[in-house]
Amino acid sequence: MKHNKRRISKIVDELVVYLFNMGATDININLKEKKDYYKIVLTSNYTVKDQEKIEKMIKYLKCGKQEEMEEYYWELAGDCDVDTELTLVGMMIDKAEIHTSEDTIKLVLYRYK
Amino acid sequence: MNISKSIDAEKKKENTIKVIMLVVFGFSLVIFGFLVDTPKVIIQGLYTILTEPDTLITDYIGVGGIGAAFVNSGILTLIFIYILCKLKINFNGVTIAALFLIAGFSFFGKNLLNVWFIIIGVYLYSKVQKEKFSKYIYMALFGTAMAPFVTEIMFSTTLPFFIRVALGTFVGIGIGFILPPLSTYLVRVHQGFNLYNIGFTGGMIGTIIFSVFKSYGFLANPRMIWTTGNNKILGIYLHVIFLSMIGIGFYLNNKSFKNLKNIMKYSGRLVTDFVMLEGFPLTLINMGINGIVATNYILLVHGDLNGPTIGGIFTVAGFGAFGKHIKNITPIFLGVFIGALTKIWNINDPAILLAALFGTALAPIAGEFGWQYGVIAAFIHSSVVLNVGVLHGGLNLYNNGFAAGLVAAILVPIIEAFRKDEM
């Protein structure tokens, strides 16, 4: 697959932009390349107490893996700050976990090789 | 919370329903074709359609008759449904949009002969990249917009027969081969605010190839085959199809229009797949509504229902699964309408009718920034689209997609600079 590393960084870009829009001021990113997959972990605070945004995030990330969509549109991820491309992120990952507490959100995404 | 990505039995069942619906749609085109014309007329019409150039605007209803045009569209749609099933593609919003685009443009430019060269080019690209062809299938489907290059070279040049065929084949496959990397790259230029990205890409490729051709004295012959007088029969078919979509969607949505307003909340910017986000029943209702609106726009402005306008109407309906809804397309119609009041053409001139229908590629601008920006975008688009066709000699069928890409690329950064909303 061409530009695989750039695609991973695009996923991170998109998530960071979304977290900023949730009022994040402290974002930690941990990216690991394992033998069979990439693991992206983002831990962030959020000040915008907007449950709708979290629900939207879950809904968008639920979109099934779509290699053919990724191949066509992956360049759009992380490129726009007036709209979200989280649906595309959902299509680019295989598994996701979302943990939220009062003021912290933790995202764990897996993308198999 | 863990987000599962497994395809459960329910989703498989829904996918089967989607495929059945699209097959029924494909057959409806073929059956309608045989209802209005005899088999003999249809076969003769198909032969004429396949062996004539397809430069914009070539109305297949004028070339081969209503029956042949519908049969060409129906068979091509059914073949592509079969290919998608063989490739085990999960049918989503973009799949439906691509198939409706194929069905629509099979009324004025795509036919059973000329589309395969582009498809083969994309297939060869996937093999060179050592990837599955299925990964590039949408680029291949949308990329068939460039098919007129093949027929123009094969049937319109004065070169010896074998050279014409060889050159047409080479150019068609070559365009398909370079389409995937370019379409992925160029989508960033308009940030997904132009829904017809391949139209923009095709316009760029077409401009360069046509410029080279012109240097060797090759000039595409402009065509203007535009039929009139079929509004009643075609209007009935379109209304039956779109009302059926609304009815079936209503039935599948537990006999209700519940949550339909959720679709209107999306800007429609790429990638907004309504099937994935809101489900197939609501998407079907939305597609039907879009189709009804587009059809009645043409009838209200006293335009003609024919091959090209049916192509536009199918495109508006098809993209009802992938970004368009009544809230973001209405400002586009309004913008083109206002343009026609102040500019030097009439609202029901052929090119302006197509500008209104295909200009809905810019619907995400209205959806994201507000209806007034959609009106402005459409107002500008209706002028731009009349000037860019000459760049590729009318050989890129998605000429409106090309123009919309240019408009979005110029307009979006300006709008964003002065009006930045939180997502």
SS (H, E, C) A72-89: HHHHHCCCCCCCCCHHHH
Chain A residue at shortest CA distance from B134: A68
Tell me the HSE value of B92 on the side-chain side, using a 13 A CA sphere: 23
* Length of chain A (residues): 113
Q: Cβ separation of B139 and A61 shorter than 8 Å?
A: no
The pLDDT, as a whole number, for residue B118 is 96
Query: Does the beta carbon of B128 lie under 8 angstroms from any beta carbon of chain A?
Result: no
Give the gap in angstroms from C-alpha A36 to the nearest C-alpha of chain B.
17
* Residue B422 pLDDT exceeds 60: no
- pLDDT single digits (tens) B61-112: 999 999 999 999 999 999 999 999 999 999 999 999 999 999 999 999 999 9
Query: Does the beta carbon of B175 lie under 8 angstroms from any beta carbon of chain A?
Result: no
pLDDT band at B366 (very low <50, low <70, confident <90, very high): very high
Query: Does the beta carbon of A26 lie under 8 angstroms from any beta carbon of chain B?
Result: no
Spatial CA neighbour of B415 closest among B198, B199, B267: B267
Chain A residue at shortest CA distance from B191: A76
Tokens of A58: 């879950």
Nearest neighbour of A83 by CB, restricted to B94, B273, B423: B423
Q: Cβ separation of A87 and B137 shorter than 8 Å?
A: no
The pLDDT, as a whole number, for residue B274 is 95
Q: Cβ separation of A71 and B277 shorter than 8 Å?
A: no
- State whether residue B225 is helix, strand or coil: strand
Domain that holds residue A36: 4-112
DSSP state for residue A109 in the 8-state scheme: E
Query: Does the beta carbon of A103 lie under 8 angstroms from any beta carbon of chain B?
Result: no
The pLDDT, as a whole number, for residue B294 is 97
Q: Cβ separation of B1 and A58 shorter than 8 Å?
A: yes
Q: Cβ separation of A96 and B277 shorter than 8 Å?
A: no
- State whether residue A105 is helix, strand or coil: strand
Q: Cβ separation of B129 and A2 shorter than 8 Å?
A: yes
Query: Does the beta carbon of A91 lie under 8 angstroms from any beta carbon of chain B?
Result: yes
What percent of chain B lies above the pLDDT cut of 70? 97
The pLDDT, as a whole number, for residue A43 is 92
Query: Does the beta carbon of A9 lie under 8 angstroms from any beta carbon of chain B?
Result: no
Chain A residue at shortest CA distance from B275: A63
- State whether residue B276 is helix, strand or coil: helix
- State whether residue B303 is helix, strand or coil: coil
State pTM to two decimals.
Answer: 0.94
**How many pairs of residues across A and B have Cβ atoms under 8 Å apart?**
109
| DSSP string for B362-401 | GHHHHHHH-HHHHHHHHHHHHHHHHHHGGGTTT--S-HHH
> What phi, psi does B91 have (nearest 5°)?
-75, 115
Nearest neighbour of A21 by CB, restricted to B185, B269, B423: B423
The pLDDT, as a whole number, for residue A113 is 86
Spatial CA neighbour of B108 closest among B62, B139, B154: B62
Q: Which residues of B touch A59 (CB under 8 A)?
A: 277
The domain ranges of chain B are 12-215, 231-416
Read off the CATH number of the domain in which A19 is found. Answer: 3.30.565
Q: Cβ separation of B191 and A79 shorter than 8 Å?
A: yes
Chain A residue at shortest CA distance from B91: A66
Q: Cβ separation of B5 and A94 shorter than 8 Å?
A: yes
- pLDDT single digits (tens) B255-300: 999 999 999 999 999 989 999 999 999 999 999 999 999 999 999 9
pLDDT band at A1 (very low <50, low <70, confident <90, very high): confident
Query: Does the beta carbon of B10 lie under 8 angstroms from any beta carbon of chain A?
Result: no
Taking every pair of Cα atoms in chain A, the longest distance, rounded to a whole number of angstroms, is: 40
Q: Cβ separation of B136 and A58 shorter than 8 Å?
A: no
- Total tally of structural domains belonging to chain A: 1
Spatial CA neighbour of B401 closest among B420, B384, B422: B384
The pLDDT, as a whole number, for residue B7 is 59
Chain B residue at shortest CA distance from A82: B423
Query: Does the beta carbon of A15 lie under 8 angstroms from any beta carbon of chain B?
Result: no
The pLDDT, as a whole number, for residue A48 is 67
Query: Does the beta carbon of B264 lie under 8 angstroms from any beta carbon of chain A?
Result: no
- pLDDT single digits (tens) A50-69: 778 888 888 888 888 889 99
ipTM: 0.89
